[in-house]
């Protein structure tokens, strides 16, 4: 019992620290120079580089859901509900969650280790001695790029996922295409789409925040400072981000429903 | 600008491990001061405490500035204008040499126009003989070149004091001399004071005005190089002179 | 540097198109939708109909159920939203229908021809609840149909 309490207080404190880190970075960033081009570079890093994996994962998620749902629904003679099932589960849940997990795996770990190595190489100290706010310089543009790119990638994931469902359910299994798309269009409400986007906004800022935070403090948070510490920090960043995504997905869903 | 940097009973612990127990040091403007000592004596820690990268656990660092009119006032290091040259240069891998040098001007609160920045950086690149590697990334430069780029980055903000953390690590004896000469030459040219941390006894003696020996968390000796010869204490004398034999053996 | 800007610009463009397509085509956002007015219809039983259920006329979706509440006479009242361009007469009939045998329920409107228009907030009085499949089956199997006559 004591241990559980300890874990809870530790997580709450950690979350608070990360939130303060995020706020400090973003507020400081608005005093930085050349903000626009920094956001562009970070958006390339977080957004465009993840486009390919989002397309592949989205397509195959939709396809496998098409197959599974079709076989389940046909037992009840309700295969016409395939479009509803796929579109709602992708747009509400799988889109934001899976794309956030993918972006963390692809970009978040890279960001964390890059900042961790910069910490290790004293580049962060160098920034501070030059009078440059290191948090806003390193984390600020990435946080804003996360805020921009997560919803974009989620939207792309959703659409490609719907096409994946169409491909397996309709083209391979033979459900009438009109029924599939008709169900997709008629069952999704704006509130579902909005819920998905709210999730991806929150995931975007917080997961990138966690990754930057872990990299930035890799020298004190790890048991061994140095290269080993950076690798530990990258692991922790991905694990914590994934836990954050799934826990907060549940919490946000329960508030939205 | 005349100033005096005073360190009084500075303390720093890492966990229960006391690194600096009681450091007193005085650094005068327009002089080159070197902090020497064994590996792990806390020389770099002392430099980082002065630069404000680490926070001290006790003691005081104060800077008294004396204006031309003779009035003295206390200022902090940022207002004095300082640069820090890191042991491993701490250049940004993703930026070219030019961008690395321009970084403090662009990102710091100087409000220079981009044409002014270009002019300043180009002038510095020429002075340090780096024009050919202007658009190269740090990964493409040799060790000595990187040192010079880092040096240029430290000088571009026209600091009054430059802190050098072991500027000669990983360089061969010839390059070491070049670096020391560089410091000596640009010190005259740009008019900064310098505080060095170095292992290179006695090469470093050639350029310094004041030597401070850090041992067991204290400054055990501070004085000019002539004063070393006049020291009575044999153990101190031995340490401060040993380097000379070692370097002869190495050469 | 220039190349990155073009790539990112392209990426953001694709993203915005996707977001708008999702929100406004698939999600049918009502930000740019037509203005609507509300009508009330009270039923003896509204089981299976909920907020956001469809409202159809002749199989074409024209509106949706905004909310459902129970009035003082223990009748279920559905508040339905209908575009302002659609005029309904006061003898319109509202019935609950089911799409397929076990599909979701929706409200079907049968427009009347009385010439007296329903104003926003008016009640559709002529309603017919859903066919209760269970009681229908039990009537068949226990011969209840003849009893009720």
Q: Which domains does chain B have, with CATH numbers?
A: 2-81+161-250 (3.40.50.300), 91-158 (no CATH)
Q: What is the pLDDT of residue B247?
A: 44
Q: What DSSP designation does B29 have?
A: T
Confirm whether C59 is domain-assigned.
yes
Q: Chains that contact C by 3+ CB pairs under 8 Å? A: A
State whether C45 and C27 are in the same domain. no
Residues of A within 8 A of B48 (CB-CB) are 125
- Report residue A159's pLDDT band, with 50, 70 and 90 as the boundaries: very high
Token pair of A152, please? Answer: 């974009």
C60 and C121 co-located in one domain = yes
Chains C and B touch (3+ CB pairs under 8 A): no
Q: How far is CA B22 from CA A3, A208, B63, B79, C56, in A?
A: 41, 42, 18, 26, 86
**Residue C40 and residue C20 in one domain:** no
Calculate the average pLDDT of chain C: 80
Q: Look up residue A121 and give its two tokens.
A: 């190489």
More confident residue, A8 or B27: A8
pLDDT band at residue A200 using 50, 70 and 90 as cut-offs: very high
Q: Is residue C44 part of a domain?
A: yes
Please tell me the predicted confidence (pLDDT) of residue B69: 74
Confidence of residue C102 (pLDDT cuts 50, 70, 90): low
What's the average model confidence in pLDDT over C34-48?
82
Longest dimension (CA), chain B: 58
- A159 vs C contacts (CB less than 8 Å): 18, 21-22
CB B154 within 8 A of CB B146: no
- The span from the CA of C101 to the CA of A128, in Å, is 70
Same domain for C41 and C26: no
Q: State yes or no: pLDDT of A45 exceeds 80.
A: yes
Contact flag A131-B104 (C-beta cutoff 8 Å): yes
What does the pLDDT look like over B69-80, one tens digit per residue? 777 777 777 777
From chain B, pick out residues whose CB is under 8 angstroms from the CB of A30. none
Residue C41, domain member (yes or no): yes
Q: Nearest-CA neighbor of A18 among A234, A205, A213?
A: A213
Mean pLDDT for A240-247 is 93
Q: How many domains does chain C have?
A: 2
Is the distance from CB of A193 to CB of C27 less than 8 angstroms?
A: yes
Contacts of B100 (CB under 8 A, 6+ apart): B91, B92, B138, B149, B153
| Segments of chain B with pLDDT less than 70 | 1, 170, 202, 229, 231-251
Residue among A150, A144, A133, A107 nearest A248 (CA): A150
* pLDDT at residue A112, as a whole number: 92
Please name the residue of chain C whose CA is at the shortest distance from the CA of residue A158. Answer: C22
Mutation target to probe the A interface, by most A beta carbons within 10 A, among C7, C20, C26 is C26
Same domain, yes or no, for C9 and C72?
Answer: no
Residues A33, B106: C-beta atoms closer than 8 Å = yes
Q: Do C23 and A193 touch (CB under 8 A)?
A: yes
Taking the C-alpha atoms of residue B169 and residue B198, their distance in angstroms, rounded to an integer, is 9
Is residue C63 assigned to a domain? yes
**In a domain? residue C81:** yes
pLDDT of residue C74: 86
C18, C81: one domain? no
Find the domain containing C27 and state its range. 1-33
* Partner chains of B (3+ C-beta pairs under 8 Å): A
Q: Touching check for A227 and chain C: CB below 8 Å?
A: no
Task: Quickly tell me which residue has 């010439």 as its tokens.
Answer: C115
Tell whether C58 and C29 lie within a shared domain: no
Closest CA to A194 of B45, B164, B178, C26: C26
Taking an 8 Å cut-off on Cβ atoms, the answer to whether B107 and A130 are in contact is yes
Judge if C50 and C68 occupy the same domain. Answer: yes
| pLDDT at residue number B245 | 45
Predicted ipTM beyond 0.95? no
Report, as an integer, the average pLDDT of A104-122: 90
């Amino acid at each position: 019992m004591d241990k559980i309490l300890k874990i809870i207080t530790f997580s709450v404190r950690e979350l608070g620290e990360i939130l303060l880190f995020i706020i400090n970075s973003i507020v400081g960033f608005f005093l930085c120079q050349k903000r626009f081009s920094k956001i562009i570079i970070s958006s390339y890093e977080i957004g465009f580089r993840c486009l390919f994996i989002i397309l592949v994962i989205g397509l195959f998620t939709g396809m496998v859901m098409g197959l599974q749902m079709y076989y389940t629904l046909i037992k009840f003679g309700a295969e016409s509900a395939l479009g509803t099932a796929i579109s709602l589960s992708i747009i509400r849940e799988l889109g934001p969650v899976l794309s956030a997990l993918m972006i963390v795996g692809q970009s978040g770990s890279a960001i964390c280790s890059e900042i961790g190595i910069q910490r290790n190489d004293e580049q962060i100290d160098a920034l501070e001695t030059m009078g440059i706010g290191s948090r806003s310089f390193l984390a600020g543009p990435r946080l804003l790029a996360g805020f921009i790119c997560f919803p974009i990638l989620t939207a792309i994931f959703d659409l490609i996922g719907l096409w994946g469902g169409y491909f397996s359910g309709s083209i391979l299994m033979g459900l009438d295409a009109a029924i599939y798309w008709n169900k997709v269009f008629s069952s999704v409400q704006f509130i579902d789409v909005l819920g998905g986007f709210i999730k991806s906004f929150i995931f975007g800022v917080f997961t990138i925040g966690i990754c930057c935070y872990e990299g930035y403090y890799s020298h004190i948070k790890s048991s061994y400072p140095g290269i080993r510490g950076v690798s530990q920090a990258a692991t922790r960043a991905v694990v914590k981000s994934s836990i954050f995504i799934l826990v907060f997905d549940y919490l946000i869903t329960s508030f939205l429903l | 600008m005349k100033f005096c940097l005073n360190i009084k009973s500075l303390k720093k612990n890492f966990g229960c491990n006391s690194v600096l127990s009681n450091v007193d040091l005085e650094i005068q403007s327009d002089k080159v001061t070197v902090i020497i000592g064994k590996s792990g004596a806390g020389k770099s820690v002392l430099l980082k405490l002065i630069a404000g990268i680490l926070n001290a656990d006790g003691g005081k660092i104060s800077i008294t500035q004396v204006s031309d009119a003779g009035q003295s006032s206390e200022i902090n290091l940022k207002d004095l204008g300082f640069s820090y040259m890191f042991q491993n240069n701490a250049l940004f891998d993703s930026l070219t040499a030019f961008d690395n040098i321009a970084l403090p001007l662009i990102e710091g609160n100087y409000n220079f126009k981009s044409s002014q920045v270009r002019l300043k950086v180009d002038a510095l690149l020429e002075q340090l003989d780096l024009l050919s590697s202007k658009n190269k990334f740090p990964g493409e430069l040799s060790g000595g070149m990187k040192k010079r780029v880092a040096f240029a980055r430290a000088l571009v903000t026209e600091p009054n004091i430059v802190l050098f953390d072991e500027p000669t690590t990983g360089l061969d004896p010839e390059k070491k001399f070049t670096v020391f000469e560089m410091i000596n030459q640009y010190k005259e040219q740009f008019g900064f004071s310098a505080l060095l941390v170095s292992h290179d006894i006695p090469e470093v003696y050639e350029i310094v005005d004041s030597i401070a020996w850090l041992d067991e968390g204290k400054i055990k000796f501070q004085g000019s190089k002539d004063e070393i010869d006049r020291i009575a204490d044999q153990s101190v004398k031995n340490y401060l002179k040993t380097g000379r034999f070692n370097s002869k053996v190495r050469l | 540097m220039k190349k990155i800007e073009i790539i990112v610009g392209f990426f953001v463009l694709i993203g915005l198109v996707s977001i708008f397509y999702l929100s406004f085509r698939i999600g049918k956002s009502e930000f740019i939708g037509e203005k609507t007015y509300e009508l009330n219809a009270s039923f003896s039983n509204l089981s299976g109909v909920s907020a956001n259920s469809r409202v159809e006329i002749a199989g074409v979706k024209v509106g949706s159920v905004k909310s459902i509440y129970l009035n003082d006479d223990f009748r279920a009242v559905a508040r339905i939203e209908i575009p302002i361009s659609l005029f309904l007469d006061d003898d319109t009939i509202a019935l609950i229908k089911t799409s397929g045998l076990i599909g979701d329920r929706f409200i079907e409107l049968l427009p009347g021809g009385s010439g007296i228009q329903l104003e926003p907030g008016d009640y559709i009085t002529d309603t017919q609840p859903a066919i209760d499949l269970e009681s229908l089956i039990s009537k068949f199997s226990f011969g209840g149909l003849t009893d009720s006559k």
